[in-house]
């Protein structure tokens, strides 16, 4: 791997590089790297993979005229430097055979096992997608797509090694292609390497991209760095010696090295701060690596004793690690000739992590106590990187498979123009069509997924290339409502249906109702007229057509009407059917709506509806503890929404604690009235602590904003110590208990 960091300022002598080929010889570069951490039997396996790959690529040349096999072997070397496990190294050797030669994934699985085959397949898939658009948001989506498609972290590591080697041999390509690949590397792959904490790879990718993207600027800056290096050579070696000497005197075992900043970071600093090269002092830094965490702080003290620290420059990334897991102490000192010196102090373990990031995970293969901490860190990283909200991925399980569902709620797909759209997971082609444009959604008739015709209901997957076929006179189909999942698609389909001709709608409504009835194992022909009569009365409408039209227009849900028709079979208690919610809940039109007393939803709360045979539709808040067990059964509940401007009043429970003083209740009651709310019920609780009384109010509010205003109002009353909204059945139970 090309290194931009040099170990020691004084010596720039490169050690002789061992031969790359044949890679299955004892003294090859790859073998020497592998011997450092793998067992002989693993190395034999890797040799076999090399021979297999060499045969497969036989006769194939790189653009430079070198035998193709040099590329996979170089990729394997990069991975071996990161101490990656055997399957990953083998995947590195085989990563191009499926694409470039006649080999199949099946064959690889048979010879090298399923794990290797999956890794190779993963890399091949990534190779097929190409980044085109250059906006920042698109770049972010593309990075997420790559990560989501990788599933196994090792796939992305092989891909990064592949990219790094391609970048270091980019010279041979045409200028146009160089720029395209360099830009893609800078915008997509370098940030991924950075987020995975793969510092060495990250810096190399950036510098190489810089070189091909801005050849002039690259040359100027590298020349300037070289000159500065020459000028400061003596200063640097003096500082290096001073630091080494002082640490030795204090009996601190440390590896001290000088380090040049990578060129692209210098360039970014110049651009960002609009300064010239001569104004950038910190192109050179020092690194002190000690044995453990506590020695870091001791070494820091020693260095602050050697040279005075510059105030305000100290950063403790040990106590507060960076998002990619990086840990170190950073300080800047006044050097002997007035030059500021940047020093990083870290432990050996932190150093490995700082260098190899996620890959450091493999460095400690089956070793010691560090393992658990490191595993946790690796896992945390991925979580942060992937913004996973749920904590379902258990650390151990992760370790076993190195697999995570990276973005559990989203899928990323391509438009024909190469734009990337993020859609909710489970989205269909129709959702995609509406996401592109309302007109495309309204006129879609078919879809091509990855260039093959597919039904509109087809669920989309990461990386799919989706092309919608439209027809001028096509119209939205109500059946789409059965499988679209995005709010946008749903809203547009409903909107369209509303504006449809009513005769058409009635016909459609009847079909939809019959469908729903059959789904409930009822024969539509068996519904007696009597039941329809009752239903018309309940809904307060004059004809069956009206209800059917409403269904066809998407104003009533077929499922709900079907449930109600069937419920009328039994003795129907009309009192439960008060049409309280007709104007307040969308998606429940025409249905008896009841608000659950356990959580008392008010407008603004996220809500769900449960179909109850006796009570109609019962509305709960999303977080209501009473419904937790039903939520797993999507047949039972409906997504419902509040109608935006209902003027009804809703009951809600408040818990309040206040100092036990005369007139307290009156003050609170006055406060509630002043906030424009009514009290429906009050109960008080004897408290053990006689200084305070717990009170429960049921009050009426319009919505959440109103409730918030009311609570703010009450908090202002002196001696009200606590107030919160109560969800749960406490008030009900207490009242019944009396």
- Residue 75 C-beta: closest distance to Mn ion, Å: 6
Which span (91-99, 102-110, 397-405, 422-430) binds Mn ion, by CB under 5 A?
A: 91-99
Q: How many CB atoms lie within 10 A of CB 141?
A: 20
Task: Compare residues 104 and 279 and give the one whose CB is closer to Mn ion.
Answer: 104
* Pairing outcome for strands 410-414 and 420-424: antiparallel
Task: Tell me the window of 16-24, 96-104, 417-425, 607-615 that interacts with Mn ion (CB under 5 A).
Answer: 96-104
Residue 226 CA: distances (Å) to CA of 202, 206, 221, 231, 232: 22, 19, 8, 9, 10
CB of 100: closest distance to Mn ion in angstroms?
A: 9
d(CA 409, CA 389): 10
Closer Cβ to Mn ion, 178 or 324, answer by number = 178
Taking contact as CB under 5 A, which single stretch among the options 90-98, 202-210, 409-417, 455-463 is the one that binds Mn ion? 90-98
CA gap 339, 336 in Å, rounded: 7
Cβ-contact 330, 314 below 8 angstroms: yes
Binding piece for Mn ion, criterion CB under 5 A, among 88-96, 220-228, 314-322, 418-426: 88-96
- Output the smallest distance, CB 320 to Mn ion, in A: 38
Residues 447/454, Cβ–Cβ less than 8 Å: yes
Q: Which is nearer to Mn ion, 205 or 449 (CB)?
A: 205
- Decide if 607 contacts 640 (C-beta within 8 A): yes
Catalytic residue list contains 85: no
Whether the CB-CB separation of 436 and 415 falls below 8 Å is answered with yes
Residue in this structure with the two tokens 């972010």, named with its chain if needed: 140
The DSSP secondary-structure symbol of 185 reads I
Residue 159 beta carbon to Mn ion: minimum distance, rounded to whole angstroms: 9
In whole angstroms, give the CA distance from residue 714 to residue 422. 44
Which is nearer to Mn ion, 93 or 243 (by Cβ)?
A: 93
Euclidean distance between CA atoms 121 and 463, whole angstroms: 14
- Which residue, 96 or 550, has its beta carbon nearer to Mn ion? 96
Site size toward Mn ion (CB under 5 A) is 2
| Residue in this structure with the two tokens 């089956």, named with its chain if needed | 366
Minimum separation from the CB atom of position 96 to Mn ion (A) = 5
- In angstroms, give the least distance from the CB of 95 to Mn ion: 6
Question: In the complex, what is the shortest distance from the CB of residue 126 to Mn ion, in angstroms, rounded to a whole number?
Answer: 10
**How far apart, in whole angstroms, are the C-alpha atoms of residue 499 and residue 506?**
13
Rounded-to-integer distance, Cα 340 and Cα 295, Å: 24
Instruction: Compute, in degrees rounded to 10, the torsion defined by CA atoms 574, 577, 583, 585.
Output: -170
Contact 721, 659 (CB under 8 A): yes
Which is nearer to Mn ion, 126 or 345 (by Cβ)? 126
Tokens of 725: 């909204």
Distance CA 104, CA 115 (A): 14
**Catalytic-labelled residue, pool 8, 42, 66, 100:** 100
H or E stretch including 356? helix 348-356
Name which of residues 378 to 407 contact Mn ion (CB under 5 A): none
List, in sequence order, every residue forming a beta bridge with 593; answer none if it has no partner.
Answer: 617
Beta carbon nearer to Mn ion, 81 or 96: 96
Residue that is written with structure tokens 């658009």 in the block: 133
Smallest distance, Mn ion to C-beta of residue 124, A: 10
In the complex, what is the shortest distance from the CB of residue 187 to Mn ion, in angstroms, rounded to a whole number? Answer: 19
476 burial (CB, 10 Å; 0-12 / 13-18 / 19+) is buried
- Cα Dmax for the chain: 103
Instruction: Map the footprint of Mn ion across residues 188-247, applying CB under 5 A.
Output: none
Q: Is 550 in the site for Mn ion (CB under 5 A)?
A: no
Report the residue number, 76 or 656, with the smaller CB distance to Mn ion. Answer: 76
Between 96 and 605, name the residue whose CB sits nearer to Mn ion: 96
Catalytic residue among 58, 99, 439, 719, which? 99
In the complex, the smallest distance separating the C-beta of residue 163 from Mn ion, rounded to whole angstroms, is 8
DSSP string, 84-119: --HHHHHHHHHTTHHHHSS--HHHHHHHH-HHHHHH
When binding is defined by CB under 5 A, the residue of 24, 81, 96, 355 that contacts Mn ion is: 96
Under 8 Å between Cβ of 640 and 559: no
Choice between 93 and 562, CB closer to Mn ion: 93
For the question of residue 99 being annotated catalytic, the response is: yes
Asked if omega into 420 is within 30° of 0 (cis), the reply is no
In the bound state, the residue with its beta carbon closest to Mn ion is: 162
Give dist(CA 73, CA 94) in Å, integer: 9
Minimum distance between the CB of residue 476 and Mn ion, rounded to whole angstroms? 45
Kindly write out the interface string for residues 165-194 of this chain, putting x where it contacts Mn ion by CB under 5 A and - elsewhere: ------------------------------
Nearer to Mn ion, 69 or 627 (CB): 69
Residue numbers 130-169 binding Mn ion by CB under 5 A = 162
- Number of H helices and E strands in the chain, helices first, is 30, 20
Output the six-digit token pair for 592: 């008896």
Q: Which residues bind Mn ion (CB under 5 A)?
A: 96, 162
| Residues labelled as active-site residues | 99-100
């Amino acid at each position: 791997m090309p290194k931009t960091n040099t170990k020691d300022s004084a010596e720039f002598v490169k050690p002789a590089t061992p031969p790359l080929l044949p890679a299955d010889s004892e003294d090859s570069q790859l073998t020497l790297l592998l011997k450092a951490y793998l067992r002989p039997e693993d190395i034999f396996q890797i040799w076999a993979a090399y021979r297999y790959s060499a045969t497969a690529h036989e006769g194939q040349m790189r653009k430079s005229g070198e035998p193709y096999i040099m590329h996979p072997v170089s990729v394997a070397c990069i991975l071996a430097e990161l101490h990656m496990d055997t399957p990953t190294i083998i995947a590195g050797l085989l990563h191009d055979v499926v694409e470039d030669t006649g080999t199949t994934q099946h064959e690889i699985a048979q010879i090298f096992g399923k794990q290797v085959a999956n890794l190779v397949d993963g890399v091949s898939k990534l190779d097929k997608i190409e980044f085109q658009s250059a906006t920042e948001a698109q770049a972010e989506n593309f990075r997420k797509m790559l990560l989501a498609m990788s599933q196994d972290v090792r796939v992305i590591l092989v891909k990064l090694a592949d990219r790094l080697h391609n970048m270091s041999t980019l010279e041979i390509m045409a200028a146009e292609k160089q720029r395209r690949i360099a830009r893609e590397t800078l915008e997509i792959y370098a940030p991924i390497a950075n987020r995975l904490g793969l510092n060495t790879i990250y810096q190399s990718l950036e510098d190489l991209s810089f070189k091909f993207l801005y050849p002039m600027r690259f040359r100027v800056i590298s020349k300037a760095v070289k000159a500065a290096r020459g000028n400061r050579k003596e200063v640097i070696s003096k500082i290096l010696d001073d630091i080494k000497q002082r640490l030795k005197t204090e009996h601190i075992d440390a590896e001290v090295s000088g380090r040049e900043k990578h060129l692209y970071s210098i360039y970014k600093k110049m651009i960002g701060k609009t300064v010239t090269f001569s104004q950038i002092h910190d192109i050179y830094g020092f690194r002190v690596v000690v044995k453990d965490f506590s020695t870091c702080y001791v070494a820091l003290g020693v260095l602050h004793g050697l040279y005075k620290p510059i105030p305000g420059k100290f950063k403790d990334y040990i106590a507060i690690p960076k998002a990619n897991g990086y840990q170190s102490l950073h300080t800047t000192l006044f050097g002997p000739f007035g030059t500021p010196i940047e020093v990083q102090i870290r432990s050996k373990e932190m150093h490995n992590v700082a260098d190899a990031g996620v890959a450091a995970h493999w460095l400690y293969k089956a070793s010691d106590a560090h393992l658990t901490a490191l595993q946790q860190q690796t896992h945390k990283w991925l979580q942060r990187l992937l913004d996973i909200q749920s904590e379902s991925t258990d650390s151990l399980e992760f370790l076993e498979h190195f697999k995570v569902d990276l973005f559990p709620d989203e899928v990323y797909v391509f438009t024909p123009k190469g734009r990337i759209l993020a859609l909710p997971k489970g989205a269909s082609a129709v959702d995609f069509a509406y996401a592109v444009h309302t007109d495309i959604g309204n006129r879609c008739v078919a879809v091509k997924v990855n260039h093959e015709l597919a039904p509109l209901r087809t669920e989309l997957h990461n990386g799919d290339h989706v092309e919608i076929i439209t027809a001028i006179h096509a119209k939205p189909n109500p059946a789409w409502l059965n499988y679209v999942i995005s709010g946008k698609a749903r809203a547009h389909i409903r909107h369209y249906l509303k504006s449809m001709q009513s005769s058409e709608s009635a016909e459609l409504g009847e079909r939809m109702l019959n469908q729903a009835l059959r789904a409930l194992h009822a024969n539509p022909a068996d519904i007696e007229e009597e039941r329809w009569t009752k239903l018309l009365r309940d809904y307060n409408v004059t004809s069956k057509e009206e209800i059917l039209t409403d269904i066809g227009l998407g104003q009533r849900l077929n499922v709900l009407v079907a449930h109600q028709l069937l419920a009328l079979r039994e003795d129907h208690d009309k009192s439960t059917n008060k049409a309280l919610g007709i104007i307040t809940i969308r998606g429940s039109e025409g249905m008896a709506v009841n608000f659950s007393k356990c959580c008392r939803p008010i407008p603004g709360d996220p809500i769900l509806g449960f179909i109850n045979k006796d009570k109609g539709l019962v509305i709960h808040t999303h977080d209501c503890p009473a419904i937790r067990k039903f939520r797993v059964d999507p047949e039972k509940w409906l997504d419902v929404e509040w109608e935006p401007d209902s003027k009804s009043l809703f009951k809600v429970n408040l818990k309040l604690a206040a100092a036990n003083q005369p007139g307290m209740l009156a003050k609170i009651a006055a406060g509630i009235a002043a906030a424009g709310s009514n009290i429906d019920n009050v109960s008080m609780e004897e408290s053990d602590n006689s200084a305070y009384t717990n009170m429960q109010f049921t009050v009426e509010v319009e919505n959440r904003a109103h409730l918030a205003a009311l609570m703010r109002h009450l908090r202002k009353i002196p001696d009200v110590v606590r107030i919160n909204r109560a969800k749960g059945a406490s008030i009900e139970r207490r009242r019944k208990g009396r």
